[in-house]
Structures are given as structure tokens and as C-alpha cells.
Amino acid sequence: MRIIAGSAKGKSIKCRDGFDTRPTTDRVKESLFSIIAPYIDGSKVLDLFSGTGNIALEAISRGASKAVMIENEKDALRIIIENVNNLGFEGQCRAYKNETLRALTILGKKNEKFDIIFLDPPYKDNVCTKVIEKIAETGILAKNGLIIAEHHILEDMEEAISEFKKVDERRYGKKELSFYTR
């Protein structure tokens, strides 16, 4: 895996061995960042179920000002921190080991706001709707912010979840990106 554009273009990102981490492919990542390009510059990004930090690190490389990465697996968090350090993004990134819904509650209590929230939970969990509802409850999405959920095509994502409405949807084989905003 690698950063595909921006200040760290071409630099490698480490990934865990095995099948525990399922990073967003370069093809999907390139498409995603083409779609969200107007939102990136100076944005604050939250990467949930972060895995390798792939999405947050790409966003920082492309001009996001800050990124927070949440990952529940200790080994994955170690890889994220290694990737942040290898890319020299320590001043712009924070990574936390925490369960996602709990982390959202904490971020809400701290009055954190994010312009872009990306979530890519394990497909078997079917938790995208639950996580988006928690984002609404905590109020952490900035006024004109965007939520992107990467999920299996069999996970049905409603046209509206809490205060958010689906504004776009893209399919890539068996995965789909669903985009929500107010």
C-alpha cells in the first residue's frame, strides 16, 4: 500500500499480515478522494475502524490539517503509529485504541468537530447505521461535514439516518461507499 497523491505521494504504508485488516484499495481510495477533493484542504478528519490509517494519512498528504484515527486492535494501532511516524505526520495525527461507539462519546464530550468522518467497519458487523446514529447523537460532524461509510453491498444503508441524508453512493465490486451530510 502507498500514499497516492499529495505531499507524501508514493511513500509506503505498512499493513498487518493476514486477513484481520482489509485496507481500502488504491482504486477505491483514488475514486473516494476525487469525490471528496473539495472537502479536504484544511479539514479535520476522523477515521473510524482505522486499520492502517490509510484514509486519514492520504487525507493529511492531500492537505487535511488534522486527523484522528480510532482503532480497537492493539496490533493495528501499532501499525498506524508506525505509519504516522514514517510519513512524518506526528504533528497532525492522533491515534487511539478504543471501541468506536465509546470513542465517539468521548469525542462528543470534548466538543470535537470533524469535517470528514470515514468509517470502514468489519463487513460482518453491519454497524454503519448504528455508528452514523451515534455521530448524530454526539454532534461531532461539523456544520457542512461529510460522512463516508465503506460497507458490503449487502448492508442496506437507508436514504436518511438520523439528521443525515444520503447524497451519493458508489459501488466497487462487493463494496460500496455511501456519503451522508445534513
Distance CA 177, CA 162 (A): 18
- Mean pLDDT across 75-83: 96
Taking the domains of the chain in order of start, what are their residue ranges? 26-181
- Mean pLDDT across 98-127: 95
Distance CA 94, CA 20 (A): 22
Residue 27 is predicted with a pLDDT of 85
φ/ψ of residue 49, rounded to 5: 55, 50
CATH code given to domain 26-181: 3.40.50.150
Distance CA 45, CA 55 (A): 9
For the cut 60, the answer to whether the pLDDT of residue 94 exceeds it is yes
For the chain, what percentages of helix, strand and coil (3-state, to nearest 5) are there?
Answer: 35, 30, 35
Q: Helix, strand or coil for residue 123?
A: helix
Taking each helix axis from N to C end, the angle separating 128-138 and 100-109, rounded to the nearest 10 degrees, works out to 10
- The burial class, CB within 10 Å (0-12 / 13-18 / 19+), for 140 is buried
pLDDT (tens digit per residue) in 4-51: 999 999 999 998 775 455 567 788 899 999 999 999 999 999 999 999
φ/ψ of residue 43, rounded to 5: -75, 160
Helix (H) / strand (E) element for 149: namely strand 141-152
Residue 18 is predicted with a pLDDT of 57
- This prediction has a pTM of 0.94
pLDDT (tens digit per residue) in 114-163: 999 999 999 888 899 999 999 999 999 999 999 999 999 999 899 999 99
Residue 68 is predicted with a pLDDT of 98
